Each structure stands twice: as structure tokens, then as C-alpha cells.
Amino acid sequence: MHSPPIRRALISVSNKLGLADFARELTEQGVEIFSTGGTRRHLTQEGIQVQDVAHYTGFPEMMDGRVKTLHPKIFAGILCRHDREDDMEALAENRILTFELVVVNLYPFEATISREGVTVEEAVEQIDIGGPSLVRAAAKNHQFTSIVTRPEQYAAVLEEIRTSGSTTFETRRHLAGEAFERTASYDRAISDYFTQSGSDATFPESVHVDYQIKMNLRYGENPHQRAAVYRQLGSCGPSLLTAQQLNGKELSYNNLLDLDSALRIAKSYTDPAAVVVKHNNPCGAAVADDLAAALRAALDGDPVSAFGSVLGFNRTIDVATAEVLAAPGLFIEAIVAPDFQAAAVGVLTTVPKWRDNVRLMQVGRIEESASSMEMRHLMGGMLIQDSDDSVESPDDWQMVTSTQPDDDLWGDLEFGWTIVRHIKSNAIAVCGQRALYGAGAGQMSRVDAVEIAIKKSGSRCQGAVLCSDAFFPFPDSIHRAAEAGIAAIIQPGGSRRDNEVIDACNHFNLPMVFTGRRHFKH
């Protein structure tokens, strides 16, 4: 397959990351660069010689840059078939130059509409017209033209130009595929914005979500399953997909699931919080005045299950916290936190026996984000719902028993009501001193979940609170809680036998709060 030498490049980008070095190398390889507007100014300021597209076409930019590259002298130079004499003659007759390389990334429409308070006018101005046209033209003519749409592609393209003065057909075809995917996802984002803006419908008629591969994983949930992780395009805010890994082995499928759970739980607390996660359920969690104290309390929740766990924090890990983690007898798979002090990284990567393997994930500043949608795949379809991350106020809760909890118990009830929504249903959490003592997770019977949580908590049940993600269908769980020494109960209410459950609590002088909101998690 004929690969024409790359003599000219047309460059017009919004994302300037790495552009100056890329363009400088192109000029060193003898490639003449043409550009427009802000891209041309950026390259000129970097000392790179650039030809002005407006000077070449004889047609100035107009309408605040809305019209720049939409000209036959540009598109003919991109679309010409180098092996067709009539195409080349048409170029010569009209004094049109060929462009063998087109470098374009699009106006940041997705990032713009993700900003809070953005107006329709602001969104409209970020709809790229010339960019997608250039991308599609170059991708269509990939037999002769290379199209680059992402800074991550610069290095590979440069390497081929250094080697042969051109790119291979295989590379051009691959780049064309990525280019068409980019314009398709861009148009989907615009379409979704206009069809959903101002609509009274809770959910859109159709859903388009674009993902880009982040990396292949060694295997999936089990060694016989293949797996990869993808990043959602246009997604904003800190996450594991944008985190920096400071240490450790490559992440596994299960690591990512557990780390995501740990991060979600940790960021749901405002005070310094530490969370211990095993098999996607918290087996330890606590808040305290400082992170090291929170960690000690979280690890005390279920020390046996904490071995080989994943930990999440909502504050920077300092040396004191790192020293708790590095204590003998612990084994930690991975840790996620907003940041790590350099000295803390030094402790974690030199002291414990697992220092070489522990994954340290730095996600940056985390804060409670606005509610979003979550999706679950079914065979042949998908479920979509609001994320269960709304903030609840104790002022809206109902005191349904004659006995009321004291201030300390109220604090534990608030802590426990936050943690129980993150435990698989049927879920019970026994908590005290703003820490999780024991969890009964994923049980088909609620009373069985109560038994497990009480067993895990042991003698710490005395004076603790019991939290249930859904109502008690029978008073048997209340009897068991009272026998164990539980001092207060919180649950949504809503059972046909609520009165029987309330009567049982009153019989044992056991305070109980109804929140009015269920928190099943499947």
C-alpha cells in the first residue's frame, strides 16, 4: 500500500498538551506546518515556524473564529487520492497543496456542559464545526492521510516519521478508526445535551455512554476470566481512573472494585475517616479527630477480615497513619487516599513486609459530589437509577419509641446510618464510638444478618447502636438486639408490623429511630 511522504501537516487543536514538542520534531523532520488561530499563536510563541491558513487560502478567519478551515483549498488537499492522476492534476490547476498529516482535537464540549451553571449559549459556542469536518475528511482518506486526534498518539506517529518519513497503512487505518469513534462520541454528546436539556422526562429516550480503554488487567474476578478497565469519556472529578499509582503491583479487577467502594465510603464522611473493605463490603470503618485514630478504630472492627484488605481514606495520609499501617501483623493489598505525605510513602514502601506490592493510589482532592446515575447490565439490556448518595438530615428522622437516645448515641446512629447503606443487603451494622464494630452483610434473612453483626461485635454490643438498611419484618431482631445489650436502633420503618417492632423496643426501653428512607444495596 502506497504511503506518501509526509510533507505538510495541518494542525488545529484545543488541547495543547505536548503540542509544541510534537510540532518542533515535525519541522526537524522537514514537515511544513499550517495552522489557525490560537494553535498558530501558541506554536509561534514556542518559536516554531508556522504557515497561516488564512494567508494560504486567501480567506480570512471570521465570525469570532467560527469559520477558519472550511475552504476547498484545505479539504481538497486532505481528500486528494495521490494515486489518481486526475486528482493530482486538479490540485495543480488550482494551486492546492497536499496535507498528508492532519492533527485536530475538538472544542471541549463535554467538559463545558459538565460544569455547573453553564448556559446554553456557552455550550453552543463549544460545538466544533470545522474540527469534525477535518477529522472525517482525513479519516476517510486514510489511505494517504494520517489523522491524529489525541496527544497520546504523538509519540507513535513521530517514531514512524523518523523511521520512514511517513506512516504505515496499518497505523493510518487504526488512527482513522479512533477518529471516527471520536467524532461519533462528540456528536452523541451534543445530541444528548439538546434532547435532554429542558426535558421533563426523568430518563432520556436513549443512552449513549462512551468509554476508552485505560488498561488490560491480568484477569477478571477469577483467573479464567479476561478483563480490562475503561475510562468514561467526559467524566469529571477524582476517581481511580484518574489516580496516580505511587507504588505497588498492577491493579487487579477485584482491587479496583474494592478500592472504588472504599473511596465512595470514605468520601461520604466529613470528619477524618478510615474504611476497611473486603469483597466489596466494609469490615471496618471509623471517624475520629485525626486519621491515625480513625484507622486504629477501623482496624479494630474486624481484625481477622482486615488481613488482605483494601483501605480508603478521606484525608492525606501522614506519617502517624502510615506507621499504624506498617505495624507487624497487618497485610494490606491497596490503599486509596486524596494524597500521601512523602515521608508516609517512605514508611509504607520500606517498613512493612508487603512494601513492594502494596498499591498506593493518590486520587487528589475528594469531596461529596452531586448525585449521578448508576447503571447495571442485564442480559439484553441495562438498568439505570439515581445513585444512592443523597445527604439525609437527622431533623427529618422520627423518634418512634418512648425512650430517646442521648447525644453520644445520636452520633453513633448518624455514623451507622451512613455506613449501612454501603453494605450488601440484607445489611446490619453494629456501631459505637463512631466506629463499625460488626457487619452482617448479604443475608437472605434479616435476623441472620443481625446474628452475624452481633457475633462479630461480641461484648462491644453493650451500649452500641444497631443499624438496619431496611425495615424489620418481625420483632425477633429486636429481641436479639436487646439480649446482646444494644442501646439504640435505627431503621427506615415501613413494615406492616412496625407497631409490633415499636412495642418490642418499648418493652426493652430501647430507643428506635425511623429515617423514612430504605437503603437496599444489591
Q: Give the integer Cα–Cα distance in Å for 482 and 476.
A: 10
Cell (9 digits) for 17:
498538551
Q: With 0-12 CB in 10 A as exposed, 13-18 as middle and 19+ as buried, what is 129?
A: middle
Q: Indicate which residue of 16, 73, 140, 174 is catalytic.
A: 140
Q: Give the integer Cα–Cα distance in Å for 508 and 467.
A: 17
Query: Strand locations in 123-186, DSSP E?
Result: 146-148
Q: With 0-12 CB in 10 A as exposed, 13-18 as middle and 19+ as buried, what is 318?
A: middle
Do 422 and 445 form a contact (C-beta atoms < 8 A)?
A: no
Q: Give the integer Cα–Cα distance in Å for 165 and 153.
A: 17
Residue among 293, 352, 343, 355 nearest 318 (CA): 343
Q: Give the integer Cα–Cα distance in Å for 225 and 485.
A: 46
Q: Where are the alpha helices (DSSP H) in 46-84?
A: 53-57, 72-79
**Does residue 140 have an active-site annotation?**
yes
**Does residue 2 have an active-site annotation?**
no
Q: Which residues does 134 contact at the CB level (< 8 Å), separation at least 6?
A: 10, 12, 69, 74, 75, 78, 102, 104
Q: Indicate which residue of 82, 174, 279, 521 is catalytic.
A: 279
Which residues are the active-site residues? 140, 279
